[in-house]
Amino acid sequence: MDLRLSPEDERFRDEVRAWLETRLGGDFRDLRGTGGPGHEHEVVEGRMAWERELGAAGWIGLGWPAPSGRGASLWRQVIFQEEYARARAPGRLGHIGEHLLGATLAALGTPEQKERFLPPIARGEELWCQGSSEPGAGSDLAGVTTRADLAGDAWAIRGQKIWTSHAHLADYCFVLARTDPAERRHAGLSYLLVPMRQPGVTVRPIRNLTGSAEFCEVFFDGARAARENVVGAPGEGWKVAMATLAFERGASTLGQQIGFASELDAIVAAARARDADRDPEVCRRIADAWIGLRVMRAFALRVLSHGAQGELPPAGLGAKLYWSTWHRRLGELAMDVLGPDAEILRAPPCALAPLQETFLFSRADTIYAGSSEIQRNIIATRALGLPR
Amino acid sequence: MRFAFTDEQEEIRRQVRRAIADGGGVTAARRAMEDGAGIDRALWRRLGTELGLAGLAIPDVHGGAGLGWIEIVAVIEALGADLACVPFLSSACLATAAILEAGTPEQHAALLPAMARGASTATLAWLEASGDPSPDAIEATAHADPDGGFVLRGTKRFVLDGHSADLLLVAVRAEGGAVALHAVPAATPGVRRARLPTMDGTRAQAEIILEDVRVPASSRLGGGGWHPIARAIAKARVALAAEQVGGAQACLDFSVAYAKVRQQFGRPIGSFQAIQHTLADMFVQVETARSIAYHAAWEAEHAPDIEVTSAATAAYCADAFLACAADAIQVHGGIGFTWEHDAQLYFKRARAGRTLLGSTTAHRDTVARSLGLGLARAHTDGTR
Ligand SMILES: Cc1cc2nc3c(=O)[nH]c(=O)nc-3n(C[C@H](O)[C@H](O)[C@H](O)COP(=O)(O)OP(=O)(O)OC[C@H]3O[C@@H](n4cnc5c(N)ncnc54)[C@H](O)[C@@H]3O)c2cc1C
């Protein structure tokens, strides 16, 4: 047992920290704390410029294997995430492109696909969205009915996606669609790379319960994707989609407790400022939240040190369920600490203070990327071997 | 960075598991509980003396293995899995840490070799009738004797393995109101002790009455003070937490096994989603608790101050174990509610752990205070 980072990794941390401090002290000063869940509509132009800044410095695609990326270890990816959150750097518009599609392509794409799609992601120029869920296929993703049919050199896509985060900003979408109507369920699906800015694509933002609109309905009506832009073999899209999901739940979330820690700091400050901590019950709940952060940190270190080869160990299956449940409880605690002020908005109709945001947005954490119920199903069957 | 035990540490663990299984596993713990001894002496001979667990954390110059809290945690997790009825927590963890923290080199040399051999066990007598873990609650006294020694008076309660320990480390209020620790052989005239009947029969507690107990000046460990005692208790809390991880894992394991074979409605109950989700929640509790306990073990070896870490770890693991043990009963249905089934032993062990080395509530208050919250700050009482 040795829980120290190597001196090289510590130096890497210093390098990341110094870079962020300089850049966020200069032209990008006003971007600190912007964006992120519930704030995706904020300063989009400025945050796009920030993405390009990150890209130019080589911070995007850290974890992708060379030559597409820098092949950084899981530790360094987490260190970067931690420092990023600590610096309150802006919410990443490029998250889906880098950590979901980019990671998937780097692992499973053809050389041509990598060459075409990874560099613009790494430069912070092209944004992506994820077209998996449909009105009739959420948890049961194998039920997608969007069709893609080969017509000459291109796939023609027809169908509807929903809850597509960033679809209104994205240049591309990775779409899970049925390409073989003779097959059922997990067979006959393909994973297509589809340009968003073309005829035949209609995007309609959906307002979520926080009042902002970050996810959308996407209608495909004969939209095109080049024949070669299928990841994996046609008909083998399920495997690719599962790989993406593993990236979505994996290392890219393991550094996020730093962001959570600053939310907890705000709760501690609020409790002190309003004497809410005279109530021992409130103190104990805050203590519990703090303990939960320690748990997440230790859990992440343990899972990562076992998963340094890329495959996360069975214990890792519990990570998403744990952090999402913790975060939801944190939001509830925040409201109780604020007392009657919890109710008062910054401005009508829905300008939320940060802790109100935490409270409301954390309700989504237990739904996306596999709901808590689905996580429990996965643990039961895969980690515990229980019968279906 | 390596968040795992070494091969050598895993090997010690394997040997411990084998020795416990050879000794009868949980059945042996039940026997020790039911025959009233509250200690499985045969198993302790095997583990403590032959495998060297008694002196695991005792420096080799005093005949111990010279290892530390990482090994303590590795081993005690295995003990907890089978509820081994041995004085490992009380003697090899709590008392050993107290002597190491509080004693002088001469006292180490005088007290530790017999413990390392397994020839003598020790425990810390710290709590009193109030059960309050803070030093303020200590009322037992030590008065200087004209002949140069001390006279101890008072009553200690909830003393872990206090009925069987050979050496009692008694926390008292000394001259000037400071706290001091005295090493008192249990056979000293004036020491009366009685085992307390405990709900968790697998871990004994005792009441110890000190009636004008005369002890030499050399029985006072080091220069006195609460700090070394607090540090020993904090380290023991980390050990207890790891023991609870072992217990929680056992609850999950036997519940999963049962859910796979027990049939109702023509299918294994483990195929019902309600049962699956209960077991999945247990899994998350076990894995998270294990992570924080291992992390705390490393800190116990490397961090200058572990008070908050140990409080956080103790609170989390105690809760996790109780939740798992409670769910284990539920998953078993009627059989889980019987005296005969082991689930009750884990449930009671888990309950006891929540108040053993300070309560989970007190631990949360420690964490809250470290965040600058709470009563220490809210000094007004509302009157103006
Ligand atoms: C903020 C947010 C962002 C999102 N972003 C995207 C995105 O960018 N791209 C994308 O493709 N999707 C996205 N999603 C969609 C998300 O993946 C789905 O909402 C999720 O998979 C659940 O599907 P559903 O909404 O259809 O709910 P349903 O699947 O209908 O689930 C409803 C309820 O039933 C439960 N349930 C379903 N099946 C089972 C089962 N087998 N056992 C037990 N309980 C079950 C669920 O847990 C849930 O509680 C996003 C969702 C949110 C909230």
CA dist B250 to A62, A94, B287, Å?
Answer: 40, 44, 12
| A129 bridge partner residues | A173
pLDDT at A103 over 60: yes
pLDDT at B134 over 70: yes
pLDDT at B341 over 60: yes
Q: Are residues B140 and B110 in the same domain?
A: no
Q: Are residues B197 and B300 in the same domain?
A: no
More confident residue, A258 or A139: A139
For A242-269, how does the pLDDT look when each residue is reduced to its tens digit (9 = 90+)?
Answer: 999 988 876 666 668 888 999 999 999 9
Q: Cβ separation of A284 and B288 shorter than 8 Å? A: no
User: For residue A9, what is the nearest residue in chain B, using CA coordinates?
Assistant: B1
Does B93 reside within a domain? yes
All domains of chain A in start order, with CATH: 7-93 (1.10.540.10), 129-236 (2.40.110.10), 249-383 (1.20.140.10)
Task: Please report which confidence band the pLDDT of residue B384 belongs to, taking 50, 70 and 90 as the band edges.
Answer: very low
Q: Are residues B20 and B37 in the same domain?
A: yes
- Which residue out of A1, A283, A294, A377 would a mutagenesis test of the B interface target, given it has the greatest number of B Cβ atoms within 10 Å? A1
Question: Predicted ipTM?
Answer: 0.94
Q: Are residues B138 and B13 in the same domain?
A: no
Q: Are residues B30 and B116 in the same domain?
A: yes
Per-residue pLDDT, averaged over B311-339, amounts to 98
Task: Please report which confidence band the pLDDT of residue A308 belongs to, taking 50, 70 and 90 as the band edges.
Answer: low
Q: Are residues B271 and B199 in the same domain?
A: no
Q: Where are the beta strands (DSSP E) in chain B?
A: 122-125, 141-144, 150-160, 167-173, 179-185, 191-196, 205-215, 263-264, 267-268
Q: Cβ separation of A386 and B292 shorter than 8 Å? A: no
Q: Are residues B272 and B348 in the same domain?
A: yes
Q: What is the mean pLDDT of chain B?
A: 95
Does B379 reside within a domain? no
Task: Please report which confidence band the pLDDT of residue A309 belongs to, taking 50, 70 and 90 as the band edges.
Answer: low
- Taking phi first (over 0 means left), then psi (-120 to 50 degrees means alpha), and beta for anything else, what does residue B274 get? alpha
Domain-ending residue, one of B88, B121, B154: B121
Domain that holds residue B243: 227-370
Task: Please report which confidence band the pLDDT of residue A96 belongs to, taking 50, 70 and 90 as the band edges.
Answer: very high
- Report, in angstroms and rounded to the nearest whole number, the Rg of chain B calculated over CA atoms: 21
* Chain B CB contacts of A283 below 8 Å: 364-365, 368, 373-375
Whether A361 contacts A220, CB under 8 Å? no
User: CB contact, 8 Å: A387 with chain B?
Assistant: yes
Is position A248 annotated as part of the catalytic site?
yes
Q: Which of B182, B232, B177 is nearest to B210 (CA)?
A: B182
* Chain B CB contacts of A297 below 8 Å: 295
Q: Cβ separation of B378 and A287 shorter than 8 Å? A: no
Whether B282 contacts B324, CB under 8 Å? yes
Q: What is the pLDDT, as a whole number, of residue B383?
A: 40
d(CA A227, CA A104): 19
Name the least confident of A243-247, B67-71, B87-91, B327-331. Answer: A243-247
pLDDT at B326 over 80: yes
Q: Are residues B144 and B113 in the same domain?
A: no
**Residues comprising chain A, all counted:** 388
- Give the nearest ligand 1 atom to A361 CA: 1
pLDDT at B37 over 60: yes
Report the CATH number at residue B45: 1.10.540.10
| DSSP structure class, residue A171 | S
Task: Please report which confidence band the pLDDT of residue B381 belongs to, taking 50, 70 and 90 as the band edges.
Answer: very low
Does B113 reside within a domain? yes
The two tokens of residue A241 are 């989609």
Distance A139 CA to ligand 1 centre (A): 5
Does B378 reside within a domain? no
pLDDT at A143 over 60: yes
Domain-ending residue, one of B69, B97, B121: B121
d(CA B145, CA B152): 10
Q: What is the pLDDT, as a whole number, of residue A147?
A: 98
Number of independent structural domains in chain B: 3
Q: Which of A50, A75, A72 is nearest to A61 (CA)?
A: A72
Q: Are residues B91 and B141 in the same domain?
A: no
Does B375 reside within a domain? no
pLDDT at B108 over 90: yes
Report the CATH number at residue B247: 1.20.140.10
Domain-ending residue, one of B203, B219, B235: B219
Does B213 reside within a domain? yes
d(CA B62, CA A319): 44
- Which residue out of B2, B258, B284, B359 would a mutagenesis test of the A interface target, given it has the greatest number of A Cβ atoms within 10 Å? B284
Ligand 1: list residues with CB < 6 Å. Answer: A 129-133, 138-139, 163-165, 215, 364, 367-368, 371, 373-374, 377
Q: Which of A152, A12, A22, A124 is nearest to A78 (CA)?
A: A12
Q: What is the pLDDT, as a whole number, of residue B78?
A: 98
User: For residue A319, what is the nearest residue in chain B, using CA coordinates?
Assistant: B284
Q: What is the pLDDT, as a whole number, of residue B380?
A: 40
Q: Are residues B117 and B68 in the same domain?
A: yes
* Chain B CB contacts of A6 below 8 Å: 1
For A273-286, how does the pLDDT look when each residue is reduced to its tens digit (9 = 90+)?
Answer: 999 999 999 999 99
Q: What is the pLDDT, as a whole number, of residue B375?
A: 63
Report the CATH number at residue B138: 2.40.110.10
Distance A134 CA to ligand 1 centre (A): 10
Does B57 reside within a domain? yes
Per-residue pLDDT, averaged over B208-219, amounts to 98
Q: What is the pLDDT, as a whole number, of residue A251?
A: 65
**Which stretch of DSSP H or E encloses residue A322?**
helix A319-338
Q: What is the pLDDT, as a whole number, of residue B378?
A: 43
For A10-51, how does the pLDDT look when each residue is reduced to its tens digit (9 = 90+)?
Answer: 999 999 999 999 999 988 999 998 988 777 778 999 999 999
The two tokens of residue A32 are 């600190």
For A319-368, how does the pLDDT look when each residue is reduced to its tens digit (9 = 90+)?
Answer: 999 999 999 999 999 999 999 999 999 999 999 999 999 999 999 999 99
Q: Tell me the CB-side half-sphere exposure of residue B275, using CA atoms within 13 A.
A: 28
Does B30 reside within a domain? yes
Q: Are residues B64 and B13 in the same domain?
A: yes
Task: Please report which confidence band the pLDDT of residue B376 belongs to, taking 50, 70 and 90 as the band edges.
Answer: low
Q: Are residues B322 and B354 in the same domain?
A: yes
